[in-house]
Amino acid sequence: MWIPPEAPSNEIERLEALAQYGILDTARDERYDRIARIAAKAYAADIAFLSFVDAQQQWMKAKTSDVLHDFVARDASVCTLVISSGESLVFEDMRTAPELEGHPLARDMPWRFYASVPIRGEGSNVLGTLCIMRTDPGTPADFELETLLDLAAITSHELSLTLHNTQLREQSNTDSLTGIHNRRKLDEEMPRAIRRSTRTSTPATLLLIDLDHFKEVNDRLGHQAGDDLLARFAAFLQSFPRRPDDVLARFGGEEFALILAGTDEDGGVAVATRIIASLAKTQMPHPARGQLSASIGIAALGAADDKNSWLARADRALYLAKGLGRAALSVA
């Protein structure tokens, strides 16, 4: 009977390493698609795929057939055995393999022969797998794992380049005044948040936060004082992203954005309410209004939303909040 294997002993370190690469829920990438195509051709396989595995799911970064789902629950994945052991794995026939008896998927898939090798990141953590599958059972003549292992090593090299590029991109994605993410980073993260929400069937909510009557700060105290207040406000906001996939960014001028991963509309309202209340307690000075306040537009991600429609709904909600007066919030 199928019993999902326990996570490897270094699971926390492995997940932290995976998060460093920022690769989950990213768009298709020809570098990884190419590796999957080569694997399929080299082994005359019916399908090849390259996947990464987080705490809950296996996500296909590249695959040679759309018959295979984009993601699968980790406990229902054959590849979770590779993540657990850190070793390559071959099944001559997944339908008859004793290790897969009672497996929720293996007996019903059209593929029978299976071969998988681990994909390692820097530090040798197993981040995912490179696999081939064939509809015919039995080990093909002259089969060997060497080519698949070589392709996995190339994948690891591409991951190192990805990590390096991610670190460089972070520098260009940082707002120089406030030290938080900038609009460019927000534009990258919104589609990724949408893909993640689809993959994990979890909600996401966007907050647009605008400082009330901020022009009066610049007009009365000068732009340097305005910049100092913006930096102070950004530092204040940094306590509100709580989850690893939350994203705080300066949207532009005195406007900020906060993507709340795994958070529905009610949760977004709760966070917005805390921001408004905490800002009042902080009592940042405003030269004409006594103290600084902010208005917030809230938009939970809808099933039909893309980046532009999601952002437009949050912007409309912010416009309505501004119309209510200072320290207000509105929901799209």
Tally the C-alpha atoms within 13 A of residue 331's C-alpha that lie toward its C-beta.
14
Q: How far apart are CA 101 and CA 20, in angstroms?
A: 35
pLDDT the model gives residue 187: 95
What distance in Å separates the CA atoms of residue 293 and residue 281, rounded to the nearest whole number?
A: 10
Across the chain, what does the average pLDDT equal?
A: 95
- Give the CA count within 13 Å in the CB-facing half-sphere of 63: 15
Domains of the chain from N-terminus onward: 11-171 (3.30.450.40), 183-331 (3.30.70.270)
Mean pLDDT over residues 292-296, rounded?
96
Q: How high is the pLDDT of residue 131?
A: 98
In this prediction, residue 325 carries a pLDDT of 85
The span from the CA of 151 to the CA of 117, in Å, is 9
Bridge partners of 315? none
Query: Can you tell me the distance from the alpha carbon of 273 to that of 265, in angstroms, rounded to the nearest whole number?
Result: 12
List Cβ neighbours of 203 (8 Å cut-off, separation of 6 or more): 197, 262, 263, 264, 265, 267, 300, 301
- With tokens 């940082």, the residue in question is 174
Other beta carbons less than 10 A from residue 190's beta carbon: 23
Residue-wise pLDDT tens digits, 51-107:
999 999 999 999 999 999 999 999 999 999 999 999 999 999 999 999 999 999 999
299 and 329 Cβ atoms separated by less than 8 Å: no
Cβ contact 52:59 at 8 Å: yes
122, pLDDT greater than 90: no
**Are 299 and 197 within 8 A, CB to CB?**
no
Residue appearing with tokens 């696999």: 131
What pLDDT, on a 0 to 100 scale, did the predictor assign at position 168?
80
Q: What is the pLDDT of residues 148-195, one digit of tens each?
A: 999 999 999 999 998 888 778 778 899 999 999 999 999 999 999 999
Structure-token pair, residue 195 = 């893909």
**Model pTM?**
0.84
Give me the pLDDT at residue 46, please: 98
Element containing residue 230 per DSSP (H, E): helix 223-237
